[in-house]
Amino acid sequence: MRRLPPTIVALAIGGVAPSADAGPGEVIERTGEREQDPGQAWRLPGFRMRLAAGRELLTPASELTGPATEATAIVLRPGIRLDDRWLIEADFRYGVMLGAVQGLRWTATADLSYRVADGAWADGLVLGVGAGYAGFNVLRKRQFSTARFRANDVAGELPVASARELEEARPCSAGGAAALIRAGWLWDVTPAFATGPTVQLDTQWTACEPHRPRVVAGTTDPDATPRARIESFTEPETWRHDTMSVVWIVAWR
């Protein structure tokens, strides 16, 4: 009976092949490659995609632009890792404001991030800076008090029919420059998936011409009881807001 070559026999019974170093009739098993380490995989250059959601606190630089308010933020952040340290990203952030100030806030920035160090816990720590364009679509501001308009009251202490008349919808659909700093930590769960928190501080300057109310005299007759009336006017101004946000990120590569 004809004998089969050792290579065919080995492959048929065990999926192994003889090595060049093996002697006659000997077979050395070839082991498969080990699974890629998640940390090493995330340090490789290539495309990254990050999604995030969280909360923001917007603080105006002046009380004339309204009180501090909170927003719910959604973030889309595609990027490219250049090497094991550096990452460039485009950050698109949208915030919905439903507090004392109601409307939408958005930012679009180009960011540069740096992985700080190697180590069990420091490996996922990333610091970043960015700059770009941001804006508001403010639908409604707080209710203003009568005292707010005394400087524009041309006839002294004019009576106002109702404080509710001074409630003013001050729309502002405009944009301006924005800058940010960021610190985050990502846990490399698998070679393709990572997650973790990020804290960001940013400042935006918005050039607005909102409609404002002011109190003017309703009559010039000295014998009549002066009545106040409210008229609207526009005045160019720059809104500056400082925002702190905390979001949770999920990332893919």
What is the pLDDT, as a whole number, of residue 141? 58
Q: Calculate the alpha carbon distances from 60 to 98, 170, 216 in Å.
A: 16, 15, 28
Summarize the confidence of residues 37-64 as an average pLDDT: 89
What is the pLDDT, as a whole number, of residue 103? 87
Strand intervals (E) in 116-236: 125-140, 172-185, 187-188, 193-208, 211-217, 228-234
What is the pLDDT, as a whole number, of residue 233? 59
The torsion angles phi and psi of 117, rounded to 5 degrees, stand at -155, 170
| pLDDT tens profile 77-120 | 999 999 989 999 999 999 998 877 788 999 999 999 999 877 66
**CA atoms of 48 and 39, how far apart (whole Å):** 14
Q: Calculate the alpha carbon distances from 164 to 121, 142, 143, 169 in Å.
A: 55, 11, 7, 12
Summarize the confidence of residues 40-59 as an average pLDDT: 93
- Would the pTM count as exceeding 0.85? no
Higher pLDDT: 210 or 26? It is 210
| pLDDT tens profile 152-206 | 444 444 444 443 444 444 567 788 999 999 999 999 899 999 999 999 999 999 8
Q: How far is CA 1 from the centre of its chain?
A: 75
**CA atoms of 62 and 85, how far apart (whole Å):** 39
| pLDDT tens profile 228-245 | 566 665 667 788 889 999
Cβ atoms 236, 209 nearer than 8 A: yes
Token pair 């973790």 in the structure block, residue: 196
| pLDDT tens profile 19-28 | 555 555 554 4
Nearest partner of 41 among 76, 78, 81, judged by Cα: 81
Token pair 């403010």 in the structure block, residue: 138
Nearest partner of 95 among 123, 60, 67, 70, judged by Cα: 70
Which of the four pLDDT bands, split at 50, 70 and 90, describes residue 52? very high
Cβ atoms 158, 226 nearer than 8 A: yes
Cβ atoms 213, 229 nearer than 8 A: no
Token pair 């699974």 in the structure block, residue: 35
Q: Calculate the alpha carbon distances from 158 to 107, 109, 151, 223, 228 in Å.
A: 43, 48, 12, 14, 6
Domain boundaries, the chain: 35-147+169-209+238-252
The answer to whether residue 132 scores a pLDDT higher than 70 is yes
Candidates 2.40.160.20, 2.60.40.1220, 2.40.37.10, 3.40.50.10420; correct CATH number of 35-147+169-209+238-252? 2.40.160.20
196-222 residues labelled b (16+ CB within 10 A) or e (exposed)? bebebebbbebebebebbbbbebeeee
Helix segments in the chain, DSSP class H: 6-14, 38-42
What is the pLDDT, as a whole number, of residue 201? 97
